[in-house]
């Protein structure tokens, strides 16, 4: 695709292309109702040309490099490009219709190439390095110094100090990795959409009504009225595994979910071998022994050894608890079906039985009180009580799909602090899982700019006029992603690259994990109409099955880190590595990884390579920080909430994350609350199986 330099052509494009014009609607939000896939190519080319001109002006500035003319100038550069790219990746992940999918590889390739050209410009790096070298004498504020150090480190970690030959290879690796990442994600989406488990009415015993209704609509849409079709969305899979008494159906959906992209038409296994080899090569070019060493150098953990040590400390007690849980579930099976052996597709079903029989917790009954709209309202209520925020529906703001809702976010004084889109229903063109993103970040470099953020999930959609409900874990997911949104909405920094969630990978999950505590707070559940008996049962059963869930998560996190600590990938076989590593860590039968490598999008199509452990690291931070509220005897204590906002949410990446935690808690984090919350402090003395 060629660049367009002709003035008349450029004028025509600007007139017709909403991605090029200045947005004048409410909050200057994207005009999604007018944006089409064909608008992106000319908009990207035009924005990149403008960005190159801005970079050239900085690189050739005859003035002595200083903070303003170099580092701040880089912050201002590329605003239009950032705007177009954010819109594209929002649509690519949540509304990836055919036209968007067709150009995804192209957008990824030109974006990567553009970034490499800038990051490897020796003139630009020389100016940034000069400012970095003089930072002690420059009279910078703490935030300005952080920006200088981040800018310099970004260039170094991007290969700016390499020689020309190494730069070319580094850039080629980045290009190939970007292409492989897109292909990996597209394969998962295709494999997920290709699966269908169709059953009859008599096969639906035990399943919640909302799941059944969604399955009926799915079957009707595929030309099978009167039948019920289940897919591989997390809601369908968890629903069948938890509630269906039909072991054959549980096995079918479990195998469908866990064998995706492994030897089928959408095989990701060959891609994995190439990805990890290229990652190691790029890390070696920068002087690191492994990709994990490279990735964690700018994290809170700092080293792979520190991350591994935390996981090892939790793995031991979690594994023992999982063995106890396994034996308990096997005893239930023995009583019902002598000779049957507990399998992976049985665990959630019998675990639900334990919660019902021992703790009087009925997951289906809990779900009946968790109406999606009310759960979303409960999240807004928590944000209001903690931080004084109000969320006002704005149907006048264009959205990219009818399922999406737009909300104006205001503070106690009625001032608009940002905008939020919520998009909660599963669709074939939407990636699986749940996430938060930004269409615009908070900053005040040239005047106050309010953030525009979105949260996305894949919950089952009810029939027209029906009532959408979610499981308790899905409600936690909604609160989790809403926590990310609050981190972005309550950011209070000057420079855009330091805003909100632009923090280290093992800190970014902290503000989201802590929000999960409030969805199970008794007064919030009462507000949803839930009776005290059920609320008490949730509290009693909170630690039930924690051995299984912790082991399931840690297996994925430990294998991710072990994979990226490898220093040789000659003849690498991802399947063999999985098998051998699971045997090495001694995972109890029949627990598997929460995410097997062939569909592990966090690691191979996201930013979590070497860093899936960060959810556990962040849970240490969140468990300790939540204790501050517990110690005050009020989960909505105003002083504690204000301190959390000022010291954790507002600073973004304007200072070291450990400094932010210490500013809130008065000391470094303690992992004891994490172990207590997961019920892993007291472990019976038993022999490992």
Q: Catalogue the active-site residues.
A: 481
Residue among 418, 434, 490 at smallest CA distance from 646 = 490
CB burial of residue 53 (10 Å; 0-12, 13-18, 19+): exposed
Among 248, 214, 246, which Cα is nearest to 233's?
214
Between strands 416-425 and 452-459, the pairing is parallel
The DSSP output letter for 64 is P
3-state secondary structure of 114: helix
Kind and range of the H or E run holding 55 = helix 40-59
Instruction: Give dist(CA 441, CA 78) in Å, integer.
Output: 14
- Judged by DSSP in three states, 325 sits in helix
Q: Do 657 and 294 touch, CB atoms closer than 8 A?
A: no
Indicate the SS3 state at residue 126: helix
- Cα 689 from Cα 684, distance rounded (Å): 14
Q: Annotate 97-122 with b (16+ C-beta within 10 A) or e (fewer).
A: beebbebbeebbebbbebebebbbbe
3-state SS assignment for residue 286: coil
Vertex 83, ends 77 and 85: CA angle to 5°?
105
d(C-alpha 506, C-alpha 607), whole Å:
11
- Let me know the angle formed at the C-alpha of 611 by 605 and 616, rounded to the nearest 5 degrees: 125
Phi, psi of 499 (to 5 degrees): -80, 145
């Amino acid at each position: 695709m060629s660049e367009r330099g002709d003035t008349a052509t450029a004028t025509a494009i600007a007139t017709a292309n909403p991605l090029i014009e200045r947005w004048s609607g409410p909050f200057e939000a994207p005009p999604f109702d007018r944006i089409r896939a064909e608008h992106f190519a000319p908009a990207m080319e035009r924005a990149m040309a403008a960005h190159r001109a801005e970079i050239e002006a900085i690189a050739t500035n005859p003035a002595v490099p200083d903070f303003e003319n170099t580092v701040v100038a880089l912050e201002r550069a590329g605003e239009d490009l950032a705007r177009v790219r954010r819109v594209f990746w929002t649509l690519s992940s949540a509304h990836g219709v055919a036209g968007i999918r067709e150009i995804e590889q192209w957008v990824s390739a030109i974006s990567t190439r553009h970034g490499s050209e800038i990051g490897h410009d020796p003139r630009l790096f020389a100016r940034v390095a000069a400012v970095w070298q003089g930072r002690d004498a420059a009279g910078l504020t703490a935030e300005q110094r952080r920006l200088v150090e981040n800018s310099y480190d970004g260039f170094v970690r991007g290969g700016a100090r390499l020689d020309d030959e190494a730069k070319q290879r580094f850039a080629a690796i980045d290009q190939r990795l970007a292409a492989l990442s897109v292909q990996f994600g597209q394969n998962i989406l295709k494999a997920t959409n290709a699966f269908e488990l169709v059953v009859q009415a008599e096969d639906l015993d035990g399943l919640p009504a909302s799941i059944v209704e969604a399955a009926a609509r799915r079957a009707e849409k595929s030309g099978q009225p009167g039948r019920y079709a289940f897919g591989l969305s997390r809601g369908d899979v968890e629903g069948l595994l938890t509630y269906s008494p039909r072991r054959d159906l549980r096995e079918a959906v479990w195998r469908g979910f866990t064998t995706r992209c492994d030897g089928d038409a959408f095989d990701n296994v060959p891609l994995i071998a190439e990805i990890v080899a290229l990652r190691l090569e790029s890390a070696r070019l920068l002087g690191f022994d492994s990709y994990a060493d490279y990735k964690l150098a700018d994290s809170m953990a700092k080293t792979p050894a520190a991350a591994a040590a935390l996981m090892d400390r939790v793995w031991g007690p979690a594994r023992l608890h999982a063995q106890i849980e396994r034996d308990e579930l096997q005893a239930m099976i023995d009583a019902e079906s002598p000779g049957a052996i507990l399998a992976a597709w049985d665990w959630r079903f019998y675990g639900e039985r334990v919660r019902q029989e021992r703790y009087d917790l009925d997951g289906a009954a809990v779900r009946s009180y968790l109406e999606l709209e009310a759960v979303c309202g409960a999240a807004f209520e928590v944000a209001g009580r903690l931080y004084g925020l109000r969320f006002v529906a704005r149907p006048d703001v264009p959205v990219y799909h009818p399922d999406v809702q737009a909300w104006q976010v205001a503070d106690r004084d009625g001032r608009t602090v940002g905008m939020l889109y919520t998009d909660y229903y599963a669709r074939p063109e939407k990636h699986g899982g749940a996430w938060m993103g930004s269409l615009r970040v908070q900053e005040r470099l040239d005047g106050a700019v309010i953030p525009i953020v979105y949260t996305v999930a894949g919950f089952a959609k009810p029939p027209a006029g029906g009532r959408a409900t979610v499981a308790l874990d899905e409600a936690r997911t909604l609160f989790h992603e809403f926590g990310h949104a609050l981190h972005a909405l309550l950011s209070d920094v000057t420079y855009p690259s330091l805003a909100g969630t632009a923090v280290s990978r093992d800190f970014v999950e902290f503000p989201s994990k802590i929000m999960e505590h409030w969805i199970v707070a008794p007064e919030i559940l009462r507000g949803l109409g839930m009776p005290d008996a059920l609320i008490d049962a949730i509290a009693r059963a909170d630690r039930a099955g924690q051995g299984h869930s912790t082991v399931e998560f840690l297996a994925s996190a430990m294998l991710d880190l072990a994979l990226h600590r490898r220093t040789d990938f000659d003849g690498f076989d991802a399947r063999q590595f999985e098998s051998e590593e699971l045997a090495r860590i001694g995972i109890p039968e029949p627990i598997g990884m929460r995410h097997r490598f062939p569909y592990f999008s966090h690691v191979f199509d996201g930013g979590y390579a070497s860093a899936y452990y960060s959810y556990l690291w962040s849970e240490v931070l969140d468990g300790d920080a939540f204790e501050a509220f517990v110690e005050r005897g009020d989960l909505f204590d105003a002083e504690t909430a204000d301190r959390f906002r000022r010291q954790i949410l507002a600073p973004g990446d304007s200072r070291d994350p450990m400094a932010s935690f210490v500013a809130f808690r008065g000391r470094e984090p303690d992992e004891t609350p994490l172990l207590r919350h997961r019920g892993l402090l007291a472990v019976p003395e038993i022999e490992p199986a």
